[in-house]
Copies of this chain bind each other. A is one copy, B any other.
Amino acid sequence: MNKKENAKVINIASIKAACKDCNLRELCLPLGLGEPDLTALDKVIRRRRTLRKGEQLYRLGDPLKSLYAVRSGTLKTTGLMEDGRVQVTGFHLAGELLGIDAINTDQHPCSAEALETSEVCEIPYIALEELAHQVPGLQHQLFRVMSREIVEDERLLMMLGRMNAEERLASCLLSFSRRHERLGVNGAAFKLSMSRQDLGDYLGLALETVSRLFSRFQEEGLIEVQGRHVHLRDNDRLHAIAGGNGNSRSHAQRN
């Protein structure tokens, strides 16, 4: 398709779209809000911003100005060690909120980068907090979203601390599948927007290990892989592996 025209169409659409006619309404901050509150929220949301692949939304150390809701595309957030080691702390799909970890110190403790062309809604934080004060439903939803972020991080903690490589990848693939379904897309077949390196940095593995695992999963009939295209073939077995009932020896020896 023609790129220039396509870009123009997206722009026009994005300028007009407001929370109240956004298809992500039920997955994002507006959840549970009524008509008048939605209008108020729309007034607070400053603008849509489009990021190209590789572009950064904010950088580690940047002062907190806004939170961002992902409207389309995917972003990753990455923490950095002094010596350059990277930990991806999350992949963020449409409907998810970015930047809440900056509220604590008014500084972003990690960077956010688009993995593909992505759109985000910018929500100035001061205004959001102010509005949350006036709209209890919004306050409630904000608490929930922040809590969800914590739960998500805890799931990842479990993966990194207590799962082996194959359990981590199985778990990760199933998570992607679930989230795609939540967005109304087919959860069994999807395209990964991140590189093997990114996946490794997320799962605490070397990219080679991730690559080998993809191959092995394919050999074992769990999935089909073709570069970044993944097709889940045996959800039951994937679940068994992710839950710790893979064919490898059990780790549980606590009486």
Q: Mark A residues whose CB is within 8 Å of B.
A: 79, 81-87, 89, 100-105, 109-110, 129, 132-133, 136, 139-140, 142-144, 146-151, 153-158, 160-163, 201-204, 243-245, 250-252, 254
Which residues from B are CB-within-8-Å of A103? Answer: 143-144, 146-147
Which residues from B are CB-within-8-Å of A143? Answer: 103, 129, 142, 146
Contact of A151 among B109, B157, B202 (CB under 8 A): B109
Cross-chain contact A89 with B157 (CB below 8 angstroms): yes
Q: Is the interface of A mostly helix, strand, loop or mixed?
A: helix
Q: How far is the CA of A226 from the CA of B154 in the complex (A)?
A: 32
Cross-chain contact A139 with B147 (CB below 8 angstroms): no
Which residues from B are CB-within-8-Å of A157? Answer: 79, 87, 89, 153, 156-157, 160
Given A83-B250, A129-B139, 17 extra CB contacts under 8 A: A81-B163, A81-B243, A81-B252, A82-B244, A84-B252, A87-B157, A102-B147, A103-B146, A104-B144, A104-B151, A133-B136, A133-B139, A139-B139, A146-B147, A153-B153, A160-B160, A160-B204
Q: Known contacts A147-B100, A154-B109: does B251 contact A83 (CB below 8 Å)? A: yes
Q: How far is the CA of A224 from the CA of B47 in the complex (A)?
A: 56
Which residues from B are CB-within-8-Å of A110? Answer: 154
Cross-chain contact B244 with A81 (CB below 8 angstroms): yes
Q: Known contacts A86-B254, A154-B109: does B162 contact A81 (CB below 8 Å)? A: yes
Which residues from B are CB-within-8-Å of A105? Answer: 151
Q: Known contacts A153-B157, A154-B110: does B146 contact A254 (CB below 8 Å)? A: no
Contact of A147 among B101, B133, B136, B203 (CB under 8 A): B101
Which residues from B are CB-within-8-Å of A104? Answer: 144, 147-148, 150-151
Cross-chain contact B244 with A85 (CB below 8 angstroms): yes
Nearest chain B residue, comparing its CB with the CB of A136: B133
